[in-house]
Amino acid sequence: MTFAREGADTVVNYCSNEEAARETFEKVKAMGRRAILEKADVSSKTEVNAMVGEAFSKFGRVDILVNNAGIIKRDSIQDMKDDDWARVLDVNLTGALNCVRAVLQPMISNGYGKIINISSIGGLVTSAQGRLSYTVSKSGLIALTKKLAIELGPHGINVNAIAPGAIMTDMLCAGRSEEEIERTVQESIRLTVLGRMGQPEDIANTALFLASEESSFITGQVIVVDGGRMNFFSHA
């Protein structure tokens, strides 16, 4: 919705949570912007290509790609299942690559594009609490961002990543009891220098900046949005 408020036509994609996606879709339309609601598993090139094809059919071009699909497994090397490892990397890393490849040639032809990958501070530092596949996938996404920035810069395409800290989203709460969620929230707040949880708007506003002309000389960068949490770690 942040992008729609700035005048962008939007593709709202989902894989499982249709209710939330449809709510966003309706809000975008209520702002007077064109919108498409699509169901596509980003790990499937076929589904991604169909989604992007629909966007080009309705909008005529795609200028901005935000790779925001992500899943998490709280695994460790000792209890990790092969299927879980493959699924996390398929969605979090290969999914982003699939989406980039789907929009790449038209962006190159236009000599313009903004690609924004949503990684995590987990891709920059590791914790002692499992999340092996998630950490590896988010680290890989940062490496992909930097490599794409080098390859696509000559074509007028900016590629950057955002590394959120603890953000109050469904992913943070998934599979946890209310008591566990509360503990996680309080611990996350304790570890930030700003003393609050991050909100989805904090990430959306950063993505908006990276999609704007105000960031035209920024590429290959990782913008940390964590309330100062990594600074806290470095001075602990």
Residue numbers annotated as active site: 134
Cα-flanking dihedrals φ and ψ of residue 48, to 5°?
-65, -45
Largest CA distance in the chain: 52
Measured at the CA of 97, the angle between CA 142 and CA 18, to 5 degrees, comes to: 105
- Report strand pairing: 35-39 vs 64-67: unpaired
Measured CA to CA, the distance from residue 128 to residue 69 in angstroms comes to 24
Residues 13, 38 contacting (CB under 8 angstroms): yes
Measured CA to CA, the distance from residue 73 to residue 108 in angstroms comes to 35
Distance from CA of residue 143 to its chain's centroid? Answer: 14
Residues 6+ apart with CB under 8 A from 175: 74
Task: Tell which residue, 131, 124, 128, has the closest CA to residue 165.
Answer: 124
